[in-house]
Amino acid sequence: ETGVTQSPTHLIKTRGQQVTLRCSSQSGHNTVSWYQQALGQGPQFIFQYYREEENGRGNFPPRFSGLQFPNYSSELNVNALELDDSALYLCASSFSTGGNEKLFFGSGTQLSVL
Amino acid sequence: AQSVTQLGSHVSVSEGALVLLRCNYSSSVPPYLFWYVQYPNQGLQLLLKYTSAATLVKGINGFEAEFKKSETSFHLTKPSAHMSDAAEYFCAVSSLLGYSTLTFGKGTMLLVSP
């Protein structure tokens, strides 16, 4: 049990739609990262939020956006869904101390785009 | 850019046999290295991490890994496999964006037979 919960666990959307995935971090964690894990691949870093500001982004287009709220919850929004967006989306929270922090992963949201 | 290569998408061992999962990395700066395990329908759980202290790192569940700079390797071992070790294992390196943003390998599925 990591104390990080994600909702929903499964989601089916059609191409062109928009989707919002949610993550509830451990209390006190000031950093949340989102990862995309396609079938048969390792997780790929999407972006990271620290104290409600984006402070790092991987190789993902602007239609992937996020929010982090003061109550330790966060969202990943994806606009104009494409078939290749089908994947497991993982969030990970941590308390950033400038080094040596531990990531706590949620169980993920499985997104299918038809 | 940083990258991780995991040799072998699947590794099969018998219960009680040695487990060896291979990981090679590429990094332009001294890396932090990690091994994570993922059980079906679950998120990632940290097994162990190397952060420039001792080169032989001991983790949970009897796993350990040795950092070899000359070989740019961080292989994961366990002396005696247990049925409960069957899962997917990911090697990861910390990115230039920060300690908590990771670049993962594609994963190795460990199969344990009785």
pLDDT of B63: 97
Q: Is the pLDDT of residue B62 over 90?
A: yes
Chain A, 49 to 68: residues with Cβ < 8 Å from chain B are: 55-56, 58
Q: Which two tokens stand for residue A39?
A: 């079938």
Is the per-residue pLDDT at B33 higher than 70? yes
Contact B94, B26 (CB under 8 A): no
Tokens of A41: 């691949």
Q: B70 touching A, CB under 8 A? A: no
Q: Tell which wins on pLDDT, A66 or B53.
A: A66
Mutate to test the interface with A, among B5, B100, B106 (most CBs of A within 10 A): B100
Q: Let me know: does B100 contact B113? Beta carbons within 8 Å.
A: no
From A99-108, B30-39, B77-86, the region with the lowest mean pLDDT: A99-108
What's the average model confidence in pLDDT over A58-85?
95
Q: For position B36, what pLDDT does the model report?
A: 96
Out of A40, A42, A101, name the one closest to residue B100 (CB). Answer: A101
The mean per-residue pLDDT over the stretch A5-9 comes to: 95
pLDDT at A98: 62
The single-letter code of the amino acid at A52 is E
Enter the tokens of residue B83: 């049925």
Place of tokens 């191409």: A15
SS3 A54: strand
Alpha-carbon distance A77 to A64, whole Å?
6
What distances in angstroms separate CA A37 from CA A41, B12, B17, B18, one per listed residue?
6, 23, 30, 29
Q: What one-character DSSP code corresponds to residue B112?
A: E
The encoded tokens of residue B21 equal: 């999962």
A114 burial via Cβ count (<10 Å: 0-12, 13-18, 19+):
exposed
Q: How confident is the model at residue B99 (pLDDT cuts 50, 70, 90)?
A: low
Q: Is A96 on the interface with B (CB under 8 A)?
A: yes
Residue A52 has pLDDT above 80, yes or no: yes
